[in-house]
Amino acid sequence: MDASAARGRSLALSDIGEEVRDTIRPVPGRTYELFSVPAFSTGAPEEADGAQIGSSKRIVQTGDVLICKINPRINRVWEVGPPANGLPQVASTEYLVLSLNDGSLRRWLVWYLRSPAFRRWITRNVEGATGSHTRAKSPSIMRQLIPLGSADQRAGLISQIEMQTSRISAADQALRAALTKIAGYKRQLLAMTFSETEQRWPTVKLAVLVRRGPQNGLYVPKSHYGGGVPILRIDDFQMGSSKSVTELQRVKVSAEVASRYLLRAGDIVINRVNSPSHLGKALAVEERNLPALFESNMMRIRLSAEVDVRFVELYLRSPGGRGRLIRNAKWAVNQASINQADVLGTDIPVPPRQEQAHIADTLDAMLSGADQLGDALRTAMNRVPSLRNQVLGSVFGA
């Protein structure tokens, strides 16, 4: 694409549209379509009752363009579409709401506002502190010059932009679908392996295999974070993956406290309080995770030498094993929990030690291959934003 085609005649944003400053106080009991800052990442406005919204919001309507002023280095430009179910539409006051004088310029303007050239400019024109507390000023944004060129040039370039970004989006969707299939393959592999194991070998309570524990983790107030000993938190591991010690946050605690909660290679930590989808996730601690403490939302068990730690971890990660682990979970609003008795009462099949190692070795190899493919897909997905920027940069300047 020829960037020179986007040059030529320019107009200030204030000449293209007017900033909407009108606000309303949402009425409790009435449902609104809300363009909030958090909702942007989902790709759709949220529906919320006026009682939940609370504070005053901007009035918006179909065709308005929203430019997020808070932390403007993040690309959040929204084109307001038709309301779902005829709901009134409102937006956070963190958005500059632009009502266009000429609707034919909308697609061109939206693409320009998403371009690296505009993001670079707006990032430099902020006030306040650093990071998420920076804000761009509406008057400065409204003075920004928008390159227009001719109507024919705009139409041709919009067509090229949307063709290329459509291809990128299709590739992104294909990558995401492949990742979903990999996750399904891993679940199926674990389910098939341990379904057969449960049929072939007797089960025992996990309590029989535990040499020490369970022990709940350490609660540390936020004021103690920022230095000291690394601590493993529930967000630091998922089923089959974990952060290394260099990636962990640190907490300041006494040597005596640290000694009581210090993990060792071969320990298994189990998430005991979380949302239902994450409750019961388990990790067999490795040297790469150490030295580290473990936080209060998990518990630790240390197994006897008669059982293969990897086998137990893999079983607890399997659909059947995790189902047994959390079958007596206690439910609350948006979260669930299991206690030490639930963990110790979990039934687990116990083949001979050599068979446990063979199962663990086989699964490790197959799951590792799936993880490597998944890593390659995620690397490709991480390139998607830069590819979109390249497309827009070729038109509007990098």
Q: What is the pLDDT of residue 355?
A: 95
Residue 150 tokens, joined? 């001719």
DSSP string covering 79-140: E--PPGGG--EEE-TTEEEEEES-GGGHHHHHHHHTSHHHHHHHHHSEESSSGGG-EE-HHH
Q: How confident is the model over 9-63, as pLDDT tens digits?
A: 889 999 999 999 999 999 999 999 999 999 998 889 999 999 999 889 999 999 9
State the average pLDDT over residues 259-275: 94
State the average pLDDT over residues 303-323: 94
DSSP string covering 226-287: EEEEEEE-GGGEETTEE--GGGSEEE---HHHHHHHB--TT-EEEE-EE-TTTTT-EEE--G
CA dist., res. 295 & res. 215, Å (int): 11
Identity of residue 270: I
Q: What is the pLDDT of residue 132?
A: 56
State the average pLDDT over residues 340-344: 95
DSSP string covering 326-367: TTT-EEETTEEE--HHHHHT-EEE---HHHHHHHHHHHHHHH
* pLDDT confidence bin for 398, thresholds 50/70/90: low
User: Is there a shared CATH topology between the 3-149 domain and the 202-350 domain?
Assistant: yes
Q: What is the pLDDT of residue 149?
A: 85
Q: How confident is the model over 156-204, as pLDDT tens digits?
A: 999 999 999 999 999 999 999 999 999 999 999 999 999 999 899 999 9
What's the chain's length in residues? 398
* pLDDT confidence bin for 7, thresholds 50/70/90: low
Residue 25 tokens, joined? 């106080």
Long-range (24+ apart) CB contacts under 8 A made by 184-190 are 185/370, 186/240, 186/367, 186/370, 187/319, 189/363, 189/366, 189/367, 189/370, 190/314, 190/317, 190/318, 190/319, 190/363
Domain map (residue ranges) of the chain: 3-149, 202-350
The end-to-end CA distance of the chain, in Å, is 13
Q: Which CATH superfamily is domain 202-350 in?
A: DNA methylase specificity domains (3.90.220.20)
Q: Which of these CATH numbers, 3.90.220.20, 2.60.120.260, 3.50.50.60, 3.40.109.10, describes 3-149?
A: 3.90.220.20
Residues 265, 302 contacting (CB under 8 angstroms): no
